[in-house]
């Protein structure tokens, strides 16, 4: 470990060797991939076994008493897990082939050739232009490879259990919209980052971090107002008991509510949701029509009390602060790699000393390493997120919504066919929300204290 650490520190900016502690960078990356893959498949198998339980356990008494509903939920969870197992295995195989045969280098060369052959002569060899072409080739390839999987998931698995509400035409329209919007967003992110790396020198990570922060703040404002309405119809919540109650609740806790919208989520899915967005004194609440249809009025109010509990305890701001620390740490770590020519040569990029390095390639490789090493951060974020959910539940209970929140959460659990018997390790690694049994138990304890 000491040898590895010293190798990492030596990587800034160009002094690291082709190997770290005797292992090639490509081998280390492949090892990280394989270790993560095997761990995730192991916990998936553990969870698959839980979905094969056909007799409703006593622990669910009073939670779900319908054996048929229990079995259907188990089957739905099983189908999704097996689907995820297969797709992740294919993804692992694709990644191994891509890196083993240096296809990233081949794609970079193809991008350079396309620019030279069909682009303006003034841009021949321009790193920004080549990076843009490379990014779009990779994105389009990924989109095409994932298209059959998405079709199967929506029109076979979700259709089988009554959740898919979209037509093939709507699905195709969404795919085209997503394609163009994603390409625009990626261009708006990638090009400035590549430019800032070359312009900023060894401390480029500071400039990239501030750019990403600014971009995130802008995106959080434009996404719900400009992008999301391209896919769903947002309408003001009509006057009535629900609207009046939510405004009264917001006023009671000084939540700066300016508007309440309903969204036609039912035209795509039977799953329910609700959220709020906005900065400072301009908060807006969005409620899916599926939520209104599946719950009684007091239960919808309880769910909204839970959501407002997140605001009351500043969970969004806390999450954003944690995310900023993570982003800064990631970019700082990247600064130890980006100028290291050995990183590139390990993957077939033998760049002469007098030429600029392909920074997008370095970023792509680094992000692969970072995702494999980020297990501890993922577990930490899941633990933090779970604690926030318990806190928001307690907030709703404190406002007198305990019993109806309990019944509403159970209805949402059953309507969404969420996993009823999560494996502890699988849950810890994958769930940002506590398992329903844990939430119900915590609510029951609060209700007992109140009584």
* Residues making up the binding site: 306, 310, 389
Selected catalytic residue, list 40, 158, 301, 393: 393
Question: Which residue is listed with tokens 């539940």?
Answer: 393
Annotated binding-site residues for Zn(2+) read 306, 310, 389
Q: Is the dihedral of CA 87, 89, 92, 94 positive or negative?
A: negative
Total residues belonging to the chain: 451
Selected catalytic residue, list 40, 301, 307, 423: 307
Q: In the annotation, is 307 catalytic?
A: yes
Measured in whole angstroms, how far is the alpha carbon of residue 273 from the centre of its chain?
16
- Alpha-carbon distance 245 to 248, whole Å? 5
Q: In the annotation, is 239 catalytic?
A: no
Residues annotated as part of the active site: 307, 393
């Amino acid at each position: 470990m000491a040898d590895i650490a010293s190798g990492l520190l030596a990587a800034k900016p160009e002094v690291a060797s082709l190997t770290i502690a005797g292992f090639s960078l490509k081998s280390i990356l492949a090892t990280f991939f394989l270790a993560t893959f095997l761990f995730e498949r192991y916990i998936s198998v553990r969870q698959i076994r839980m979905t094969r339980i056909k007799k409703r356990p006593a622990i669910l008494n009073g939670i779900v008493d319908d054996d048929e509903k229990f079995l259907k939920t188990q089957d739905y969870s099983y189908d999704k897990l097996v689907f995820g197992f297969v797709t992740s295995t294919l993804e692992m195989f694709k990644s191994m082939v891509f890196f083993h045969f240096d296809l990233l280098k081949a794609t970079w060369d193809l991008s350079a050739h396309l620019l030279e052959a069909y682009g303006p002569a003034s841009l021949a060899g321009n790193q920004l232009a080549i990076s843009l072409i490379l990014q779009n080739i990779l994105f389009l390839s990924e989109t095409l490879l994932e298209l059959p999987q998405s079709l199967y998931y929506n029109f076979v698995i979700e259709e089988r259990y009554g959740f898919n509400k979209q037509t093939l035409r709507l699905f195709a329209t969404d795919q085209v919209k997503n394609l163009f919007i994603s390409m625009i967003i990626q261009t708006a992110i990638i090009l400035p980052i590549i430019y800032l790396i070359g312009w900023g020198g060894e401390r480029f990570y500071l400039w990239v971090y501030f750019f990403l922060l600014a971009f995130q703040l802008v995106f959080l404002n434009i996404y719900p107002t400009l992008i999301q309405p391209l896919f769903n119809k947002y309408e003001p919540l009509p006057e009535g008991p629900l609207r009046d109650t939510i405004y009264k609740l917001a006023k009671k806790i000084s939540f700066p509510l300016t508007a309440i919208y309903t969204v036609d989520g039912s035209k795509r899915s039977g799953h329910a949701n609700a959220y709020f967005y906005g900065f400072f004194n301009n908060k807006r609440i969005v409620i899916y029509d599926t939520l209104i249809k599946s719950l009684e009025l007091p239960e919808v109010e309880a769910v909204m009390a839970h959501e407002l509990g997140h605001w009351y305890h500043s969970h969004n701001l806390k999450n954003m602060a944690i995310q900023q620390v993570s982003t800064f740490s990631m970019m700082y770590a990247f600064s130890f790699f980006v100028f290291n020519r050995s990183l590139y040569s390990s993957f077939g990029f033998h760049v002469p000393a007098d030429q600029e390095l392909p920074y997008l390639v370095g970023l792509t490789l680094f992000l692969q390493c970072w995702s494999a090493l980020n297990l501890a951060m993922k577990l930490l974020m899941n633990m933090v997120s779970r604690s926030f959910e318990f806190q928001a539940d307690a907030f709703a209970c404190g406002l007198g919504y305990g019993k109806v929140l309990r019944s509403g959460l159970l209805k949402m659990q059953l309507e969404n066919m969420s996993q009823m018997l999560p494996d502890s390790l699988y849950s810890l690694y994958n769930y940002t929300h506590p398992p329903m049994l844990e939430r119900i138990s915590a609510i029951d304890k609060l209700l007992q204290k109140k009584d």
